[in-house]
Structure 1
Amino acid sequence: MNSAVVLVFSMLWFWVAYRWYGNKLESKLIQPDDSRPTPAVEFNDGIDYYPSKPSMLFGHHFSSVAGAGPILGPIAAFAAFGWGGTLLWILVGTVFIGAVHDYLSLMLSVRFKGNSLPEIAQETIGKRARNLFSIFVLLTLVLVVAVFGFVAAKTLSTTPNVVIPTFGIIPLAMFFGFLVYKRNFSTVIGTIIALGGLFLLIWLGYKYPLSLPFTAKVNFSIWFVLLMGYGLIASVLPVWVLLQPRDYISNWVLIIGMGVGLIGTIITHPTINAPVFTSFNSKQGPMWPILFIVVACGAISGFHSLIASGTTSKQLAKESDGRFIGFGAMLVEGVLAVVALLAVSAGLFWQAPAGMEQFAFLNILSTSGPIKAFGLGYSRLVEPLLGTFGMIFGITMLKTFVMTTLDTCIRLGRLLTAELIAPKIPALNNKFLASLFIAIPAFFFGYTGTYNIIWPVFGAANQLIAALSLLVITAYLVGVKKPTKYTLYPAIFMILTTIGALVYQGYQFLFKDNPDYILGFTAIGLIILALVVADEAKKIFMRNKSNKKNLSSTLES
């Protein structure tokens, strides 16, 4: 299969989906009204609630939800099951589940004064759903901060070329935000200057790598402390100071990277040399449900609903911008997932010919990991455009978003802590203390590496959050008498898939030669919670059925 044909078809599919399915959701379910003030306008405090330009907010939202997920997930699924099923799930799942989940999570929060989905769950479903949701959310945020901090510190220790662009973007973004928001500087000209500055930083990093002159352990410790300190401070700054402008600039790095990848793929148009399908049962488990858990952000991720209802909803200037930001960003993430899949399935070799062993995908994956595999594959796709610089640019694309994820997650944790816990512990209304509530456990799990204890079940827990989000949205649609098929059926699919994954993982953890009782009992606990979620879905389904029956009776009479 020609990689250029796959990429062009995928982009056309996502464009049609935005025009067709996105418009259908907007007109049938949301019906935006720009005369109604959004939370960003109504509660503008200059810190968290702040109306943003659509392009700036798209940059924040896309940067926050993307990260490394839509690159690493598809690569892992490809290694386990081949490229065919992975590509199909990306194309179908992104449009009919992921983009629906993201867009409606955003707009539901906007309709509920910028509240997070756990808080909204209490009003639409009940207190049990709120408490259940809160457990998942807080655990997810702690784990994500811990993992991204750990991975980022390791990368800074082992890849000194990315140090300058990783930290240099901070003052660059603050200067850009000051010019655009406080001096009314042209966004277009400012963007050109900022991108010029960023690519200068990337070039400086490439030419002058910075490494610390200590042992690997000490180097890791220093970088980890610096990163967590950055995330803590950034999480309490007004969004216009750093969060929005940095994410906006980071967004352009990924957009340009995908654009270069598209042009490079069309020019080189390598054949996908990997198998379309490898096996229904891989080392990671059976194709269903594991494929749908592994791809994660490449098709749907519960983490996205936390961003949509946690920070993005508090910055939306008008309701009509919602489809572009919520639905559109997920489709662009789908494009990124396709580019990542092609980088390793066409840019690298499943079985390398003689003399090309350094580009053997499975060998690179086992020895250097998925980030290196993506960087090498991407560099081969864009070699006519970037030459040997392609690998560093590809890895920098990933690294740019780690900083985004760190402080966005700590900020989300602060906001959720204020909503969920501060009413009982007033001291947590303090922004810095609320941020510490998330940062301290994340620091412990990341620094000690103990996040590995429960990380293997994180994927299923993350998708359970997606199912919960879809249920909360469905309950709202039932209440306002709007069609529920767009969210209820995806919710049921995600619940069944998550339960299937947890049953498989729980069995593997408990009945292998060396049982892992912590992971096994964690999986059992999540299965019980998933069944509770399924019970809530049943109630919503019956309520929806009853509403339709009552409506039919009314029309007949």
Structure 2
Amino acid sequence: MITFLSAILALVLGYFFYGKFMEQFFGADDTITTPALRLEDGVDFIPMPAWKMFTIQFLNIAGLGPIFGAILGAMYGPMSYIWIVFGCIFMGASHDYFSGMLSLRNEGASLPEIVGKYLGSGIQNFIRVFTILLLLFVGVAFVTGPAGLLTDFTGGGFNWWLYGIFAYYILATLLPINKIIGKIYPLFGIALLLMAVSIAGIMIFKATTGTLVLNEISLIDLKNLHVDPTQNLLYPMLFIVISCGAISGFHSTQSPMMARCMKKESYGRPVFYGAMIAEGIVAIIWATAAMNFFGNANELNSTVASGHNPAWIVNEICNTWLGKIGAVFAIVGVIACPITTGDTAFRSARLIIADIFNYKQKSIKNRLLVSIPLFTLGFILSQLEFATIWKYLGLSNQILSMVMLWTAAMYLAKNGKNHLLLSVPALFMTAICFTYLLVAPNKNGGLAINYQASVFFGILISVSLYIWFLIHIHRKPIKG
């Protein structure tokens, strides 16, 4: 139990100390009038209170990510604790904070426009296409998954559930952000937090009464405990499997939505940095629950190897430990939360396309002209196998985080600040992404070449990009 409580305490302290340091380092200034106040349009730019933005941001970036990812990551053993805690504090939360604050300082701009400003038009055009495709895959993944689960629960037709979820997506994408997202997302965000807190509470209670033994981290366990370690390498695959909860590029597509609703720059720390810390806590809780519910990481591996997926594990833990209320939490966790992630993915895609063409979104007609092609393509993609869609999300997600970290590092360098706070994490994520791309088997979205060669080339590419970064620092300065 010491390991579990220490990990949560470290994340909380990370928010209060490193989060505060990052806020001061960035230079948050409440005297600056935010886009929500200057550009209010009643659709996307609508001022909201900080607590509501926190719950919306948390739900947008979380969904199933810190639950399923943490469960799959726990199969590698206690090393997942180290990645979640240190990754979240020094990489993920900083990544989310800068993606939100740079949007705030640039008229609520979407990610590709921010990337273009600091890294150049070539990378901007690539990220425009890349991000829209990623958001489409996220939206589709989070419509087919819940539709399948709802079909299993109700015995209804898969296509009918698919149509119903798509209909909801269309409404949530088109309507002003305060109509559906602003009203029901805080409730689902609170439910997701309550679910995690309840699981944490029952684990602590059982541990103190002796009915559950929470395994402590030890040096002997700091190795790859995965049932298939030759195909599931600790480096780099753990860092791809656990993205939400540690660092996730998808978050940088969501932060601009809240940047357009922020009344003060000081709200950035609780909304952007704080929501990511909350997600890290949720990930720690579920990693601990998964490892200890079945006994240890080895037993968790055996459970998954026998044919049980993370959705089954969530349902089993909730029902066993929390009874009837656990069943409700399980439904919220594995059905409602993915849907609420999917609709904001489509909404973000709409905003990115509108930003590309400078196409104002105040009128419903303009929103429809952007959204109809998006949903048509999304529906076509929904006919693909879920596994085909899912295998590309992990790597694509972390490539996006890599680009956002380099963008934030360039912002710091161009403004005369110490870029190492973000360029070092960018170096690390670059090595992770390219090593994974080279070493992962084709079924997981990689090329499957020699491991040592993959690590070498991953590091070489990372160092090469760092040299490119240092060269570009001294070119024409960028203000803001």
Identify whether the pair has TM-score above 0.5, normalized to the shorter chain. Answer: yes
Counterpart contact for 1:361–1:373, Cα < 8 Å: no
Deviation, structure 1 residue 543 = 4.5
Q: Residue type of the partner of 2:184?
A: R
Partner of 1:495: 430
Alpha-carbon distance in structure 1 between the residues aligned to 2:116 and 2:47: 27
Which SS does the other structure have where 1:298 is aligned?
coil
* Equivalences for residues 356-505 of structure 1 within 5 A: 362-363=302-303, 366-380=306-320, 383=321, 386-421=322-357, 430-446=366-382, 448-450=383-385, 452-453=387-388, 455-505=390-440
Partner of 1:247: 185
Counterpart contact for 1:302–1:469, Cα < 8 Å: yes
* Equivalences for residues 178-217 of structure 1 within 5 A: 211-212=155-156
Indicate which of 116, 121, 127 corresponds to 1:122. Answer: 116
Partner of 1:290: 237
Alpha-carbon distance in structure 2 between the residues aligned to 1:400 and 1:331: 22
Indicate whether 1:37 and 2:33 are aligned: yes
Distance 1:441 1:419, change over 3 A: same
Larger fraction in helix: 1
Which SS does the other structure have where 1:235 is aligned?
helix
Q: Residue type of the partner of 2:139?
A: V
Distance 1:10 1:273, change over 3 A: closer
Q: Residue type of the partner of 2:160?
A: I
Partner of 1:68: 64
224-233 or 270-279: which moved more? 270-279
RMSD: 2.9
Deviation, structure 1 residue 395 = 3.9
Deviation, structure 1 residue 272 = 3.8
Alpha-carbon distance in structure 2 between the residues aligned to 1:229 and 1:34: 39
Indicate which of 126, 131, 154 corresponds to 2:125. Answer: 131
Q: Residue type of the partner of 1:436?
A: I
5+ unaligned residues in a row in structure 1: which ranges? Answer: 161-210, 213-218, 353-358, 510-515, 522-527, 548-557
Distance 1:543 1:238, change over 3 A: same
Identical pairs, percent:
27
Alpha-carbon distance in structure 2 between the residues aligned to 1:537 and 1:430: 41
Deviation, structure 1 residue 243 = 0.8
Indicate whether 1:16 and 2:13 are aligned: yes
Indicate whether 1:538 and 2:467 are aligned: yes
Distance 1:442 1:545, change over 3 A: same
Q: Residue type of the partner of 2:120?
A: G
Distance 1:258 1:450, change over 3 A: closer
Q: Residue type of the partner of 1:70?
A: P
Which SS does the other structure have where 2:174 is aligned?
coil
Counterpart contact for 2:431–2:462, Cα < 8 Å: no
Alpha-carbon distance in structure 2 between the residues aligned to 1:290 and 1:128: 29
Partner of 2:451: none
Which SS does the other structure have where 2:392 is aligned?
helix
Alpha-carbon distance in structure 1 between the residues aligned to 2:395 and 2:444: 17
* Equivalences for residues 136-285 of structure 1 within 5 A: 136-160=130-154, 211-212=155-156, 219-269=157-207, 270-272=212-214, 276=221, 277-279=223-225, 282=229, 284-285=231-232
Counterpart contact for 2:248–2:401, Cα < 8 Å: yes
Alpha-carbon distance in structure 1 between the residues aligned to 2:112 and 2:461: 15
Distance 1:284 1:351, change over 3 A: closer
Indicate which of 276, 299, 307 corresponds to 2:246. Answer: 299
Deviation, structure 1 residue 432 = 1.3
Deviation, structure 1 residue 500 = 0.3
Counterpart contact for 1:379–1:390, Cα < 8 Å: yes
Alpha-carbon distance in structure 2 between the residues aligned to 1:130 and 1:300: 21
Partner of 2:23: 26
Deviation, structure 1 residue 159 = 2.1
Deviation, structure 1 residue 8 = 1.9
Alpha-carbon distance in structure 1 between the residues aligned to 2:185 and 2:87: 25
Indicate whether 1:55 and 2:51 are aligned: yes
Deviation, structure 1 residue 54 = 0.5
- State the structure with more CA Rg: 1
Deviation, structure 1 residue 478 = 1.5
Distance 1:242 1:12, change over 3 A: same
Deviation digits for residues 315-366 of structure 1, max 9, x if unmatched? Answer: 11110000011011101101100111112111223599xxxxxx97633564
Counterpart contact for 1:471–1:487, Cα < 8 Å: yes
Which SS does the other structure have where 2:107 is aligned?
coil
Indicate whether 1:111 and 2:105 are aligned: yes
Counterpart contact for 2:169–2:346, Cα < 8 Å: yes
Q: Residue type of the partner of 2:5?
A: V
Counterpart contact for 1:146–1:445, Cα < 8 Å: yes
Alpha-carbon distance in structure 2 between the residues aligned to 1:476 and 1:326: 18
Counterpart contact for 1:372–1:395, Cα < 8 Å: no
Which SS does the other structure have where 1:296 is aligned?
coil
Counterpart contact for 2:110–2:253, Cα < 8 Å: yes
5+ unaligned residues in a row in structure 2: which ranges? Answer: 449-456
Which SS does the other structure have where 2:179 is aligned?
coil
Distance 1:108 1:351, change over 3 A: closer
Indicate which of 346, 361, 378 corresponds to 2:292. Answer: 346
Deviation, structure 1 residue 75 = 1.2
Q: Residue type of the partner of 1:393?
A: F
Which SS does the other structure have where 2:277 is aligned?
helix
Q: Residue type of the partner of 2:429?
A: M
Distance 1:345 1:529, change over 3 A: closer
Deviation, structure 1 residue 232 = 1.0
Deviation, structure 1 residue 538 = 2.6
Distance 1:395 1:318, change over 3 A: same
Alpha-carbon distance in structure 2 between the residues aligned to 1:115 and 1:533: 27
Indicate which of 79, 86, 98 corresponds to 1:85. Answer: 79
Deviation digits for residues 360-385 of structure 1, max 9, x if unmatched? Answer: 763356433111112323444xx3xx
* Equivalences for residues 512-527 of structure 1 within 5 A: 520=447
Distance 1:530 1:112, change over 3 A: farther
Deviation, structure 1 residue 228 = 0.8
Counterpart contact for 1:40–1:313, Cα < 8 Å: yes
Alpha-carbon distance in structure 1 between the residues aligned to 2:402 and 2:329: 35
Distance 1:346 1:155, change over 3 A: same
Distance 1:6 1:519, change over 3 A: closer
Alpha-carbon distance in structure 1 between the residues aligned to 2:230 and 2:166: 34
Alpha-carbon distance in structure 2 between the residues aligned to 1:532 and 1:348: 40
Alpha-carbon distance in structure 2 between the residues aligned to 1:154 and 1:89: 31
Alpha-carbon distance in structure 2 between the residues aligned to 1:244 and 1:228: 19
Distance 1:107 1:248, change over 3 A: same
